[in-house]
Structure 1
Amino acid sequence: MKKALTLSIVDRLRGLSLLLMLIAATAVSTWAVLAVPGPVVDRMLEADIRQQAELWQRRVTLHMADAESAFEEGIIQPQDASLLTLFTEETDVYRYRLLTSAGEIFWSSRSDEIGEFESNVFFSTQVSRGETYYDSDTVPVFEVDNSPLSGSYTEELTREVARIYVPLMHNGHFDGAIDFHTDITDLRTTFIQLARLLVALLTGIALAAMTIAAYVIFKSNRFRMNQLRQRSETEREILDEQLRLAREVQLLGELNEWLQSSRSLDELFDMVARFMTHILPTAEGSVYVYSNSRDVLDGCASWNGGTHKDHIHPEECWGLRRGRTYEFGASEIDFVCGHAEPHDGRAYYCFPILAHGETVGLMHLRALTDATEAFINSKKLAQMCAEQISMAIANVRMRDQLHDQSVRDPLTGLFNRRHMTETLRKSINNSQNAGTPLSIIAVDVDHFKKFNDNHGHDAGDMVLRAVGSVLEQACDGDEVACRPGGEEFTLILPGACQEDVMTKAELLRQAVEAIIVRYGEKALPAISISLGVAHYPRHGTMPQDLLRASDEALYEAKAKGRNQVCVASSTEQAPRDPAAQNVKPKPPGSDSPIAAE
């Protein structure tokens, strides 16, 4: 009973509110019928008269023998004057005037105005700049030329008149203007009546529609109550959706936190595979990253039963070729990516992974069987995952680049002295713990100063890069090539026996000797190196001991004539004094073995 009473009260309140709305709509419609058409019609008439004025101007100037001279000199020819007089009889213009650029009226349909000057400010501020000036006003009927004062006009005391100034421009110069006056009373009245009729018709239709709508609404209250129940259920679904989104946001935040803490790309992709299984359970996926050469993409990870190929070409993916996300199954006609073959018709996404505006990889997602709808609804979430992965890849790569810059020699790309010392210390510890051999080779370019003095420092840099390239190519596995500084190089060779080390040193010497470096249009002189070898623990158990022993062996190789390999003496022997090597007799005409360096 209470429920029925409540519904009745609600129905009456709604009926009252609808009635008030109809009354308000009727009042607004009445105001619109009476007030709106006037300004609208005035704007329409202004636009029409502006177009007509252009035609009137052309007709006036065509009636004149030399319009340009007439406006410049302010003189009208007699034959022009007779033709201009007929203009008011042929058009709707009842009065018009010809003005010079200074504002002087040198001809008018009212002869008593000739010789006067235009005093309105708009003539010098607007018309003289080439702008058409329009104005309308209500004037007494006797001011309208050729307007009869008898008949129906005796009851009309005023007329609506439009006045327009049309400038005459020639080559960007203001020659003068023509002032047209036309009576728009009858035309404006007719337009307003038509506009009011149209507005009344439209408002009537609108009121009728509102009345019908009100009746339908009034009769459908119970149906609306059902709609309210359905809305409540919808809101409950929205709440569930918000909870789901909150969980996804939480997972994305955790994914971002873990990815930012990853130390390498391999660790990063392992995290991606584990998280994507929970974030997108309806999709199988894989991740590809561009190789260093950027000609192919390397497969890095996959999840939820997905697989990835070892390598794919960028041309195989429509997402990479088009530079944006590619969605297979969204259009009537689709093309399968080459990397998605063999394809069974399931929907899939290809998300290009971007970092600092550059494409660095690809994330491929494919709907699991019987989960297409949920997969399609997860596109936005998948896009956010791709963005998180792209930022993480960019951070890891930037961290790797910064680390690489801190341990690499910028000229040759070999490791610098800092990294050499750390690597040598680690290698000694490993050799000590595992009982494996360790050797180092000190390398120095012979007569390097001559390259700089005779050919310039650019040529010297080319020599250093060429030698560094040979050393780097000779390193296998854990072997490391370093450039401590200047023309000096060092090779750290863990796990190699002494015989193999000597063989490698000799092969390096021969390889460098065979280098031909071209500088400009000619080849530089032959390059040779001297090498000093030291073995652990025979020549020392500390990094500084091994480095000192290899340097002493290097000095010995230089003292013996350069371009050769020498092994350091045993630690029991007295260390060699590098300065002592410089006093060895030298061949006539040659430089001191060490001083030249």
Structure 2
Amino acid sequence: MNTALTSSIAEKIRSLSLLLMLIAAAVVSVWAVLAVPGPVVDKMLEADIRKQAELWQRRVTLHMVNAEEAFEEGIIQPQDAALLTLFTEETDVYRYRLLTSAGEIFWSSRSDEIGEFEANVFFSTQVSRGEIYYSSRTVPAFEIDESPLSDSYDEGITREVARIYVPLMHNGHFDGAIDFHTDITDLRNTFIQLARLSVALLTGVALLAMAIAVYVIFKSNRFRMNQLRQRSKTEREILDEQLRLAREVQLLGELNEWLQSSRSLDELFDMVARFMTHILPTAEGSVYVYSNSRDVLDGCASWNGGTHKDHIHPEECWGLRRGRTYEFGASEIDFVCEHAEPHDGRAYYCFPILAHGETVGLMHLRALSDATEEFTQSKKLAQMCAEQISMAIANVRMRDQLHDQSVRDPLTGLFNRRHMTETLRKSINASQKSGIPLSLIAVDVDHFKKFNDNHGHDAGDMVLRAVGSVLEQACDGEEVACRPGGEEFTLILPGASQQDVMTKAELLRQAVEAIVVRYGEKALPGISISLGVAHYPQHGTMPQDLLRAADEALYEAKAKGRNQVCVASGPEQHPRDPSVQKDCQKRSGPDAPIAAE
């Protein structure tokens, strides 16, 4: 009787507590509907207006004849002024100003502001450093230019206005800024109403669910309470199992996400080793992947005290030989895989890793000495891990293959123009920071069109492949050989002195001159190349300038008889001036002197 009374009192206390919680939740919900949307909407509007302001700035500067000069000198051209006046009619901006780097207003949609100076501290402390400044405030409606309410002087009518300063930066230098004003009242009110409606719906659903729960608890009887007590142990066990499964699913999801974002196989296997320690704590393991020759598998990773060999043969694993998962210890008669020796009798799995129907590797798992039972129950989870790893390996290899195809010339195997431009830009940036030398060699096969006309395009392709092979073999370290197109080639040589670059160019010329290309039953005529050399920063500081200088040196080599090396002239000399003397060299033997630059 005492137990029943205690249970009844406890049930009433719980019901009362839930009712109070329901009331408290209702109060919190009302507060959330009324108070929360405002700050959230303001943050959303600020992010949106910041993006819009960058587009407004771009539209303003694109409409100007010379925006950089206008902001530097603080002078607006008449044709620019006419176009700038139309900007407020085409956008949500009702007022904007153009300011120089010193803060002087040299154009404004309000002409009376021209000539004034920006006095706010944030202009010199924040905007001048290239940072966008945003603020919003409530103003009387009559301050809004061209607004239907601008004629009303009733101070009770207000509008919400956003003001944003967008700096103009050029080569890291602050040229000035544009100050935009836009009326966000209607947009803000609309967003707040939608946000309140959303919060109200969500809180309403939550309150309804809570009310239903309270109602169900109120209607519960003693029989149900006794039944819950009897089932508590079973439910606790089920909950523990569900938590374990949920953790495994979560870890599998995280493993898949990390594996899909890996940039290389080495990074992928490092992730596998770290995750498998948590996903399968009762097993030590290792991963092997087929080498490119597919005659052996290379050991890539191991975890939980497991080890892997440098190489194993496919015949050493029963799982690979049988083409399916091999479980040692599951049958009355088992055979140990050679790669698992020395073996101490513990159960283990060998999972072939498959990708697109092809076996790409092997995952080997062995039970820890004190967790054999748990190990045998984890086979399905281990199989899922093997499938995740197989898909990730296939994705990395496919991504590497597609990337290689996107940056390689299909005929010669050299890098294409796209990769050449990216590499040159990166090399120039590295040279700017570290001061290491950088040179460029432009190469062109002499009389290639005539060669194609006389011997056919197939023979011409063989010549291009032969020249490309010579150039590729000549590249060491970070040096890159490219084929931008046709019979033109380019070498990017970071870290080499100018004298070494000239030596390499001459050796390339000699190596190509010594090529013998056979086509069918006969040897093709001898090949020669002309080369143009340009050095950074002597002949240019931008990729296009350096390429142009190398090309002009190449044209000079061709004009002087081909089959020679020429160095670009300095930037102060006009490349087309016949009086300009370029350094060219043509060798007939390995001991011919190299012209000094």
Q: Provide TM-score, normalisation by structure 1.
A: 0.54
Aligned to 1:262: 262
Aligned to 1:350: 350
What secondary structure is seen at the aligned counterpart in 2 of 1:414? coil
Structure 2 gaps, min length 5: 1-229, 582-597
Aligned to 2:530: 530
Take 1:508 and 1:574, find their aligned partners in 2: how far apart are those partners?
A: 28
Take 2:342 and 2:536, find their aligned partners in 1: how far apart are those partners?
A: 56
Which whole-Å deviations, capped at 9, do the CAs of 1:359-411 have from their partners, x for residues lacking one?
22222222222222322221111110010111122222222223222222122
Aligned to 2:422: 422
Take 1:524 and 1:251, find their aligned partners in 2: how far apart are those partners?
A: 63
CA separation of 1:296 and 1:236: change in aligned 2, threshold 3 A = same
- 1:125-136 correspondence to structure 2 within 5 Å: none
Q: How much does 1:419 deviate?
A: 1.2
Aligned to 1:107: none
Structure 1 position 469 matched with structure 2 position 469: yes
Take 1:308 and 1:504, find their aligned partners in 2: how far apart are those partners?
A: 44
Q: Which amino acid aligns with 1:560?
A: K
Aligned to 1:378: 378
Q: How much does 1:484 deviate?
A: 0.5
Take 2:274 and 2:537, find their aligned partners in 1: how far apart are those partners?
A: 46
Q: Which amino acid aligns with 2:554?
A: L
- 1:570-589 correspondence to structure 2 within 5 Å: 570-576=570-576
Structure 1 position 438 matched with structure 2 position 425: no
Q: How much does 1:296 deviate?
A: 3.6
Structure number with larger C-alpha Rg: 1
Q: Percent identity?
A: 94
- 1:535-550 correspondence to structure 2 within 5 Å: 535-550=535-550
Farther off after superposition, 307-316 or 231-240: 231-240
Q: How much does 1:264 deviate?
A: 2.9
Take 1:487 and 1:523, find their aligned partners in 2: how far apart are those partners?
A: 20
Q: How much does 1:233 deviate?
A: 7.7
Q: How much does 1:573 deviate?
A: 2.5
CA separation of 1:536 and 1:231: change in aligned 2, threshold 3 A = same
Which whole-Å deviations, capped at 9, do the CAs of 1:490-531 have from their partners, x for residues lacking one?
111111122222222223223323333332333322222222
CA separation of 1:348 and 1:565: change in aligned 2, threshold 3 A = farther
Take 2:250 and 2:315, find their aligned partners in 1: how far apart are those partners?
A: 36
Take 2:410 and 2:543, find their aligned partners in 1: how far apart are those partners?
A: 24
Aligned to 2:368: 368
Which whole-Å deviations, capped at 9, do the CAs of 1:544-589 have from their partners, x for residues lacking one?
11111111222222233323322222223221479x99xxxxxxxx
Aligned to 1:328: 328
Take 1:347 and 1:527, find their aligned partners in 2: how far apart are those partners?
A: 66
Take 2:369 and 2:570, find their aligned partners in 1: how far apart are those partners?
A: 72
Aligned to 1:481: 481
Aligned to 2:303: 303
Take 1:473 and 1:338, find their aligned partners in 2: how far apart are those partners?
A: 41
Q: How much does 1:488 deviate?
A: 0.7
What secondary structure is seen at the aligned counterpart in 1 of 2:263? coil
What secondary structure is seen at the aligned counterpart in 2 of 1:324? coil
CA separation of 1:329 and 1:566: change in aligned 2, threshold 3 A = farther
CA separation of 1:247 and 1:421: change in aligned 2, threshold 3 A = same
What secondary structure is seen at the aligned counterpart in 1 of 2:478? coil
Q: How much does 1:239 deviate?
A: 5.6
Structure 1 gaps, min length 5: 1-229, 582-597
CA separation of 1:294 and 1:493: change in aligned 2, threshold 3 A = farther
- 1:439-458 correspondence to structure 2 within 5 Å: 439-458=439-458
Take 2:452 and 2:435, find their aligned partners in 1: how far apart are those partners?
A: 44
Aligned to 2:244: 244
Take 2:377 and 2:403, find their aligned partners in 1: how far apart are those partners?
A: 41
CA separation of 1:577 and 1:345: change in aligned 2, threshold 3 A = farther
CA separation of 1:253 and 1:448: change in aligned 2, threshold 3 A = same
CA separation of 1:574 and 1:400: change in aligned 2, threshold 3 A = same
CA separation of 1:558 and 1:341: change in aligned 2, threshold 3 A = farther
Aligned to 2:317: 317
Take 2:531 and 2:392, find their aligned partners in 1: how far apart are those partners?
A: 44
Take 2:337 and 2:499, find their aligned partners in 1: how far apart are those partners?
A: 54
- 1:64-75 correspondence to structure 2 within 5 Å: none
Which whole-Å deviations, capped at 9, do the CAs of 1:420-459 have from their partners, x for residues lacking one?
1111011011011001111111111222223322222122
CA separation of 1:550 and 1:312: change in aligned 2, threshold 3 A = farther
What secondary structure is seen at the aligned counterpart in 2 of 1:492? strand
Aligned to 2:561: 561
Aligned to 1:187: none
What secondary structure is seen at the aligned counterpart in 1 of 2:467? helix
Q: How much does 1:473 deviate?
A: 2.3
Take 2:307 and 2:577, find their aligned partners in 1: how far apart are those partners?
A: 63
CA separation of 1:320 and 1:530: change in aligned 2, threshold 3 A = farther
Q: Provide TM-score, normalisation by structure 2.
A: 0.54
Take 1:513 and 1:332, find their aligned partners in 2: how far apart are those partners?
A: 72
Q: Which amino acid aligns with 1:572?
A: E
Take 1:316 and 1:502, find their aligned partners in 2: how far apart are those partners?
A: 54
